[in-house]
Amino acid sequence: MLSRLLPRQSNFFDFFEKIAAITVASARELGKLSSDGANVEEIARRIKDLEHEADELTHTCMETLHKTFITPIDRNDIHRLASKLDDIVDFIDGAARQIQLFEVSELPQSAREATVVLVQATEAVERAVIGLRNMKNATAILSECVRINELENQADRIKAASVARLFREESDAIKVLKWHEIFQRLENVTDACEDVANVIEGIVLENA
């Protein structure tokens, strides 16, 4: 009788996978800004809608956690993973809003490269999250975590090279500040992906 009153353990993995899917969808929307003639306002609006959806899922996950006595993995890990996944979407939303605020009509090649890396990082996050449901293949999950770390390093290099080029070639201080902020926002996304990878790695090492 008691088991019927408690939320099923699998619900938490459902939450993780749904939020992870939203991170990928949001990143792909952001990647559309690389296309010539992209509608920045429309893309930013769709990302905001996805951000609201992720927030609602995260909130429901936390409510479920507080009502659940037995959890499939450590309670703190559930809280941290859901929060860190939601952070990715928040940072994607922040990057889109910054690009919209600065009225950017076209991304330079380095920014386009950054969005490609960003999408790849969220896709790796989703694959790692899906693997958590049974953790039978810990090696594959940890390989995705390594891949995420590699992509974060790649994003760091793109940002460093892009900012250095800005200071070297751009004489307009306003443009330098504007693009420095945009590149930082893009890097925040891959940093958040790495945070998720660190949480997942800890979960796998403790439970696999």
Query: How much of the chain, in percent, has pLDDT values that exceed 90?
Result: 76
Per-residue model confidence as pLDDT tens digits over 99-144: 999 988 788 899 999 999 999 999 999 999 999 998 888 999 999 9
Alpha-carbon distance 65 to 45, whole Å?
Answer: 30
Q: Which of 164, 189, 175, 2 is nearest to 91 (CA)?
A: 189
For the cut 60, the answer to whether the pLDDT of residue 165 exceeds it is yes
Query: Residue 78 has which token pair?
Result: 């559930």
What is the reported pLDDT for 33?
A: 87
Q: Please, how many CA atoms are within 13 Å of residue 102, restricted to the half-sphere of its CB?
A: 20
**pLDDT (average), residues 84-97:** 97
**pLDDT (average), residues 7-34:** 89
Per-residue model confidence as pLDDT tens digits over 48-81: 999 999 999 999 999 999 998 889 999 999 999 9
Alpha-carbon distance 101 to 194, whole Å?
Answer: 27
What is the reported pLDDT for 171?
A: 84
Query: Residue 208 has which token pair?
Result: 């696999």
Q: Domains in the chain, start-ordered, CATH in brackets?
A: 2-207 (1.20.58.220)
What is the reported pLDDT for 155?
A: 96
> Quick check: helix, strand or coil at residue 32?
helix
What is the reported pLDDT for 2?
A: 43
For the cut 80, the answer to whether the pLDDT of residue 164 exceeds it is yes
What is the reported pLDDT for 96?
A: 95
Least reliable range by pLDDT among 2-11, 42-51, 109-118: 2-11
Mean pLDDT of the chain: 92
Q: For the chain, where are the alpha helices, taking DSSP H only? A: 2-5, 10-31, 40-67, 75-101, 109-131, 138-169, 173-207
What is the reported pLDDT for 1?
A: 42
